[in-house]
Amino acid sequence: MRDDAPNSWEQRADKSTFYCFTDLPTIHDRGAVVLTHGKGPYIYDVHGKEYLDGNSGLWNMVAGFDHPGLIAAAKAQYDRFSGYHSFFGRISDQTVMLSEKLIEVSPFARGKVFYTNSGSEANDSMVKALWFLGGAEGHPERRKIITRMNAYHGVTAISASMTAKPYNSVFGLPLPGFIHVSCPHYWRFGKDGETEEQFTARMARELEATIIKEGPDTIAGFFAEPVMGAGGVIPPSKGYFQAVQAVLKKYNIPLIADEVICGFGRTGNTWGCQTYDFMPDAIISSKNITAGLFPMGAVILGPDLSDRLDKASEAIEEFPHGFTASGHPVGCAIALKAIDVVMNEGLAENVRTLTPQFEAGLARLAENPNIGEWRGKGLMGALEAVQDKATKKPFDGSLSVSERIANTCTDFGLICRPLGQAIVLCPPFICTPAHLDEMFEKLEKALKKVFAEVA
């Protein structure tokens, strides 16, 4: 609970910090959790309390909080070349090497990389690039962007317009031309008697009907997360990407894979598009690209978009878009090491090793009468709280059930995330079987306590 003594950390945080994506009633009641350091998958607050971080920070601290190799790479690059930009044809050697590495580990035979400081900016940049292409290729009407309900693509004005969450209405978003089709969550949105395959076919028909209604020549691109992350860890229905990609190809609409969360190992493969066996036209990357140690995003362009953007840019002598710190040499040095750590030091393999235990833990907790569904892929999963399991009826929103569960977990020394009425887990890749046991033990205690209060 919060310390309300004068000049306590909680009081100082309240006075000086404007909180983002934070349940303010919780802060008023409990105070901010002010942290000092981390060790492995654990973080520690100013009062010395230890927490197992079951959310890898914000999906991204996959190598833990004190990986010596990553810290050494950052220190070495700060000593060597502490910062620069990527404008005017001046670019650090680390940036060039990272671009080569990203293409090498991508599913593309060749391509190019454009750097940003976040996934939001990367999605924003990809939309601007598609708009640029439309005008350059004689199709200025190609402006509309299609995403899915409950998707999360970022918080800039453009990426927030792609993010089909109701909270964006407080900003007067989405902007015109951003279209949201149905969320491919079969458990929640499948009709009575409808098989998963039939549900997928319905999603594809809806997409095609939307394209026809809007006009195929007005659509610039379709963006999709392989697994919806901040939507509540929602894997696609069976055969979803094969069905929608066939529709997109029919109308020559690019498919952009938003791999900000899924990329670099979270689903058990390097890319989520590999897990679900589809080939996008471009990949959006962030978070795991630096294992959370540096703010970075990247647009990885496949060969077709890369060639077309090269041609369009050469016609006006430049691509007039960029960010001061994009392609930062320290960030690129960290990313090179992070990719090596994930792919070559056993972290990716550990995800695959731990997945059966992780899924079994979710399935066991889903036997609770107030858990309607467990879902996930690799080391990302969710438990959906329900008032009635048979009807899938959710709890009344005023009960703030998922927030209560997350707060109770915090009391027990576990960090997890409430999303809607789900509790989300995405532990660091360095976790051991014992860490997963600890995580599920603490979560089970929290579920029992909260459901006894509200059910």
Q: Kindly state the average pLDDT of the residues 371-388.
A: 97
**C-beta of residue 231 within 8 angstroms of C-beta of residue 183:** yes
- Domain ranges for the chain: 33-66+346-454, 70-344
Type of residue numbered 277: D
Per residue in 185-238, pLDDT (tens digit) is: 999 999 999 999 999 999 999 999 999 999 999 999 999 999 999 999 999 999
pLDDT at 186: 98
- Which are the contacts of 278, defined by CB distance < 8 A and separation ≥ 6? 241, 242, 245, 255, 257
Q: How confident is residue 455, by pLDDT bands cut at 50, 70 and 90?
A: confident
Architecture of domain 33-66+346-454: Alpha-Beta Complex (3.90)
Q: Kindly state the average pLDDT of the residues 296-301.
A: 98
Type of residue numbered 49: K
Give the pTM.
0.96
- Which are the contacts of 446, defined by CB distance < 8 A and separation ≥ 6? 405, 408, 409, 411, 412, 414
d(CA 311, CA 47): 57
Q: What is the DSSP string of 126-142?
A: HHHHHHHHHHHTT-TT-
Assess whether pLDDT exceeds 80 at residue 3.
no
How far CA 289 is from CA of 140, 237, 265, 266, 422, in Å, comes to 33, 27, 10, 11, 26
Assess whether pLDDT exceeds 70 at residue 105.
yes
Give the fold, CATH level 3, of 70-344: Aspartate Aminotransferase; domain 2 (3.40.640)
Type of residue numbered 190: G
Per residue in 126-182, pLDDT (tens digit) is: 999 999 999 999 999 999 999 999 999 999 999 999 999 999 999 999 999 999 999
Are 33-66+346-454 and 70-344 the same fold in CATH? no
Q: Which residue has the tokens 């407080």?
A: 170
Q: How confident is residue 1, by pLDDT bands cut at 50, 70 and 90?
A: low
Q: ω into residue 394 within 30 of 0, thus cis?
A: no
Among 2-16, 70-84, 276-290, 364-378, the minimum mean pLDDT is found in 2-16
Type of residue numbered 335: A
Per residue in 319-328, pLDDT (tens digit) is: 999 999 999 9
Q: Kindly state the average pLDDT of the residues 254-264.
A: 98
d(CA 258, CA 264): 12
Backbone angles phi, psi at 116, to 5 degrees: -135, -170
Per residue in 43-88, pLDDT (tens digit) is: 999 999 999 999 999 999 999 999 999 999 999 999 999 999 999 9
